[in-house]
Amino acid sequence: MAKTKPSIPKGTRDFGPEQMVRRNYIFDTIRRVFSKYGYSPIETPAMENLSTLLGKYGDEGDKLLFKILNSGDFIDKVEPSLLKPGNSNAASLAICEKGLRYDLTVPFARFVVQYQNEITFPFKRYQIQPVWRADRPQKGRYREFYQCDVDVIGSNSLLNEAELVLIINEVFEKLNVRTLLKVNNRKILSGIAKVIGHADKLVDITVAIDKIEKIGIDAVNAELRERGIDEAAIQKLQPIIQLQGSNAQKLSTLRNVLQGSPIGQKGIDEMEELFRYIEAWGSLSTQVELDLSLARGLNYYTGAIFEVKAQDAEIGSICGGGRYDDLTGIFGLPNVSGVGVSFGADRIYDVMLQLNLFPESLTSTTQVMFANFGTTEVAYCMPAARKLRDAGISVEIYPDAAKLKKQFEYANKRNIRFMVIAGETEIQNRQLSVKNMATGNQVTIPFDGIEEHIKFNL
């Protein structure tokens, strides 16, 4: 009987050494920028109570939650009527008390409320961990993926939003990814919903128009009709969400359009203040654009919203977020405002791989390899290997006394930069031979000069 080849679930991936080196390059770059702006790291469990997760992401988000079966005989205490066809959602809630986290923001809100007496407000945190969504796997969309979140909670200041723009700019500048940052404000969207006569349908409107780039304006209008938005309101909406011009021109036009909406005017005030801060920072490599079709479907956003696109790659958003005024209120701590963004490390990886943006030096974790000719030669090399490692240089010694050709092949396949060779002649003369595997040049140096030589040539 043939054995089934092992596999992993769809929408998940294994990462080999080369991929992990590149992924860690992204994580380390993001982590350094977060720390530079005064954010501190936290971690939360992979699983949360379903009561923590449900109802925080809208109906569409709730459907994408991975639920975890209760331990033991989880069927024993379930009402038989719940196990009939058509009751799958109710049945799943009866047999599942926990779920895998959908994002890092809701667990962060739970963390803030749970430890409110132990943290200092404003609380600035970053978190780099995997999240899970029961989505249909496709290019750039995975069921398990990493988010790199940065949030500040306990402050209403729009300076926080402005600094997040700086963080976005600096991260992608360091990664050499050309980006477009789209911004909007949920208060403006609330004002739009009011002036077109559907203030009660804000969620329906935002869920639909958030899909413009994916499905096009005609399909969005069809969805709006399905969601109960009348034809007159849809026509009023068209010139607003497709407004052209500079950011200042768009806001000026909106001033007139939203005259009958105080909340809409408040959103415009906030956007104008944000753009003043951004202008005060000076020139940015990231282009910042007010996009009135940007809605960010998550229900908890209440102010500024952000979405970042890679300019040179066809892929979905690689970073996004926004202001949430009362997310902690759902856990019993009302009126605590926060704002944050999340970097999609997996999509950033795909963009950088597609555009060949990873430094060549990342192809190997090992910089220097010592050849192995036997126990005497290895013992001679060990102090030199230790000296290089103490200097922060990654070193390995080939484990077996094999033919030199085989060791060279190994070093080439691993993209190891330098090969250090010590045979009978080198030992007699207290020397080492160093071969640059990229150029093929080989030199013989004093034994004690190895650190200086490698550092000079790295």
pLDDT one-digit tens code per residue, 175-213? 999 999 999 999 998 888 888 888 787 778 777 877 887
What number of helices (H) and strands (E) belong to the chain? 18, 16
pLDDT of residue 84: 63
Where does the pLDDT of residue 81 fall: very low under 50, low under 70, confident under 90, or very high at 90 and above? low
Please state, in angstroms and rounded to a whole number, the distance separating the CA atoms of residues 337 and 346.
Answer: 29
* Residue 7 Cα to chain centre, angstroms: 26
What range does the domain containing 292 cover?
A: 17-45+102-354
Same domain for 329 and 430? no
Last residue of a domain, one of 310, 332, 354: 354
Angle ∠(279,282,287) on CA atoms, nearest 5: 70
pLDDT of residue 288: 96
Number of domains in the chain: 2
Instruction: Provide the CATH number for the domain around residue 374.
Output: 3.40.50.800
Same domain for 373 and 350? no
Instruction: Provide the CATH number for the domain around residue 181.
Output: 3.30.930.10
Q: Which of 58-67, 112-121, 353-362, 434-443 has the lowest mean pLDDT?
A: 58-67
Same domain for 398 and 289? no
pLDDT of residue 199: 79
Q: Would 67 be classed as within a structural domain?
A: no
Please state, in angstroms and rounded to a whole number, the distance separating the CA atoms of residues 173 and 26.
Answer: 12
Q: Would 85 be classed as within a structural domain?
A: no
Q: Would 87 be classed as within a structural domain?
A: no
Where does the pLDDT of residue 140 fall: very low under 50, low under 70, confident under 90, or very high at 90 and above? low
Q: Would 73 be classed as within a structural domain?
A: no
Q: Describe the strand order of the beta sheet including 368-370 as a list of residue ranges.
A: 395-397, 368-370, 418-421, 431-436, 442-446
Same domain for 311 and 403? no
CB 140 within 8 A of CB 347: yes
Same domain for 324 and 374? no
**Residue that wins the pLDDT comparison between 117 and 97:** 117
Same domain for 324 and 402? no
pLDDT one-digit tens code per residue, 427-454? 999 999 999 999 999 999 999 999 999 9
Same domain for 377 and 349? no
Q: Is the pLDDT of residue 87 over 60?
A: no
* Residue 339 Cα to chain centre, angstroms: 16
The separation between the first and the last C-alpha atoms of the chain, rounded to the nearest angstrom, is: 53
Q: What is the dihedral of CA 284, 290, 293, 299, to 10 degrees?
A: 80
Please state, in angstroms and rounded to a whole number, the distance separating the CA atoms of residues 227 and 230.
Answer: 9
* Residue 115 Cα to chain centre, angstroms: 25
Tell me the angle at which helices 17-36 and 159-174 cross, rounded to the nearest 10 degrees.
150
Same domain for 369 and 344? no
Q: Would 25 be classed as within a structural domain?
A: yes
Same domain for 251 and 300? yes
Last residue of a domain, one of 354, 373, 389: 354
Same domain for 287 and 350? yes
Q: Would 6 be classed as within a structural domain?
A: no
pLDDT one-digit tens code per residue, 241-272? 788 899 999 999 889 888 889 999 999 999 99
Same domain for 430 and 377? yes
Same domain for 403 and 273? no
Q: What is the dihedral of CA 197, 199, 200, 205, to 10 degrees?
A: 90
Last residue of a domain, one of 354, 378, 394: 354
Q: Would 11 be classed as within a structural domain?
A: no
Q: Would 211 be classed as within a structural domain?
A: yes
pTM of the entire structure?
Answer: 0.84
Cα–Cα distances in angstroms (integers) from residue 30 to residues 140, 143, 173, 309, in the given order:
20, 22, 11, 17
